[in-house]
Amino acid sequence: MLDSIRNIFSIPELRKRVIFTLLLLAVYRAGGVIPNPGLSASALAEFWQSQKGSLLGFIDLFSGRNMSRMTIFALGIMPYISASIILQLLTVVWPYLERLSKEGELGRKKITQYTRYGTIVICLIQAVGIAIFLEALRTPAGASVVINPGWGFKLLTILTLTTGTVFVMWLGEQISERGIGNGISLIIFAGIVVDFPATLGRMIQGLKTGTMDPLKMIFLGALMTAVVAFIVFVERGQRRITVSYAKRVVGRKVYGGQSTHLPLRVNTGGVIPIIFAASVISIPATVASLIKAPWAQSIAEQFGMGMPLYNLLYIASIIFFTYFYISIIFNPVDVADNLRKYGGFIPGIRPGKTTSDYIDDVLSRITLAGAIYLAAVAILPEFLFTGFKVLGLPWIGPWLEANLPKFITQGLGIDVMMFGGTSILIVVGVAMDTMQQIEAQLVMRHYDGFMRRSRIRGRRG
């Protein structure tokens, strides 16, 4: 490992890319400490303390905690991700975008430009909503978050938040183009891992003061190691479909005749289905919590973390959005047509519709495994933070509450965002993708990579 790191800095081009990436990530983190003008920091911290586990808390994770501190990067990179997802969905239903997606580099640049415009529109809408929301916001103690409300504060907030997100988007694109790794993913990665040392420090301090149980600490370390190993194993998992190419003679040369593989990833959709599911399932609880009526508070309670209804709908939403998103980004008919166009075929399967049906059948089976894996990873925070509220189950709830261990029904009290399955999935996935790119650069220049016996495979084929 040390030799591989030394090799990175011995290659001038790779060294420049790595240093450039680190410098831009440092700029992003520096902007994360510049607060938005006109806000009371103490009142804001008091409000966000009550928002753990809500939709706002989930969005705050992807903004690198900038939203809870309401910095100039408060919106983070989420508007850009939302615009990208919207463009992907529109590509399926809008013939114009579908044609652009098939025009190669020129079409990709045009879609990227539309994504930027969409990001600005989403930023403006969200910034207006946040400015109005902040002016009306009161802490549980009744203190106002905005010091001097009015149109001046609204316009300044809209300008600051929109400009901040556009700048973050530019940083991500520069990292992707001139640095190493995917810039957008690395920005999310940096926003998550930056709080790891502080969280570990609080846990170590808890050990010293006696508020943290040493056995709980050991169990957490073993659990996180197992989860990381499991995520790496599944993220590298793929189903390889053998593809053969018929021989064809062009002049005096013979082309084809070899076999290759069509790799289908177990987790083709990445973390996107979890983002969709968490956003949708958190909306009822967030809206109901803003209504003071008793029935609304009862609904909000049922959609709280660890409640049976919340877990059931969350798992069902993840499975649904996994299939939905993969149906958007992967088209078996196009794959079958491309195979036929270049003389490829799957042994024992007729070309054309039979091939597309076969690929779709295989993809559906491995997608189910991938969806269950994502659901298991996403539910992990419930176990760590609040446990499973089995008392809400009809008939058997009281019996389970009385007989199950307390760490299952009450959780471990660990920070849900820092050690949550979604956070670890993003961190591990981005780290694997970045290491894969560095590995390719090293191997291309005849250096040993990070893995001497086997190569790192990316998450997507």
pLDDT digits (tens, 9 = 90+) for 244-293: 877 766 666 666 567 788 888 888 888 778 877 877 777 776 676 666 67
CATH fold for the domain made of 1-194: Preprotein translocase SecY subunit (1.10.3370)
pLDDT in tens, 374-403: 888 888 766 766 667 776 677 777 777 777
- What integer pLDDT is reported at residue 250 of this predicted model? 64
Mean pLDDT of 61-70: 68
Q: Please, are residues 106 and 152 in contact by the beta-carbon 8 Å criterion?
A: no
- What integer pLDDT is reported at residue 461 of this predicted model? 41
Mean pLDDT of 34-49: 75
Is the model's pLDDT at 1 over the cut of 70? no
Q: Phi then psi for 211, rounded to 5 degrees?
A: -80, -15
User: Who contacts 162 (Cβ-Cβ below 8 Å, separation ≥6)?
Assistant: 75, 120, 123, 124, 127
251 burial type by CB count under 10 A (0-12 exposed, 13-18 middle, 19+ buried): exposed
Tell me which amino acid residue 96 is.
Y
Report the C-alpha gap between 338 and 331 in whole angstroms.
Answer: 11
* C-alpha dihedral (195, 197, 198, 202), degrees to nearest 10: 130
Band of pLDDT at residue 451, cut at 50, 70 and 90: low
Band of pLDDT at residue 194, cut at 50, 70 and 90: confident
CATH of the structural domain 236-419, one choice from 3.30.470.20, 1.10.3370.10, 1.10.1370.30, 1.10.3720.10: 1.10.3370.10
Is the model's pLDDT at 460 over the cut of 50? no
Number of other residues whose CB lies within 10 A of the CB of residue 221: 11
Instruction: Return the minimum-mean-pLDDT range out of 63-72, 152-161, 325-334.
Output: 63-72
- What integer pLDDT is reported at residue 366 of this predicted model? 92
Using DSSP's 3-state secondary structure scheme, residue 344 falls into strand
How many CA atoms lie within 13 Å of 358's alpha carbon, on the beta-carbon side? 19
Report the C-alpha gap between 29 and 93 in whole angstroms.
Answer: 38
Mean pLDDT of 148-154: 83
Length of the chain measured in residues: 461
- What integer pLDDT is reported at residue 361 of this predicted model? 92
Instruction: Return the minimum-mean-pLDDT range out of 14-23, 347-356, 434-443.
Output: 434-443
Query: Over the range 409-426, which residues count as b (16 or more CB within 10 Å of their CB) and which as e?
Result: bebbbbbbbbbbbbbbbb
Is the model's pLDDT at 416 over the cut of 60? no
Using DSSP's 3-state secondary structure scheme, residue 97 falls into helix
Q: Give whichever of 4-18, 282-296, 358-372 has the largest mean pLDDT.
A: 358-372
Mean pLDDT of 167-186: 87
- CATH 1.10.3370.10 residue ranges for the chain: 1-194, 236-419
Band of pLDDT at residue 23, cut at 50, 70 and 90: very high
Mean pLDDT of 339-345: 82
Q: Please, are residues 257 and 245 in contact by the beta-carbon 8 Å criterion?
A: yes
Query: What's the DSSP call for residue 394?
Result: T
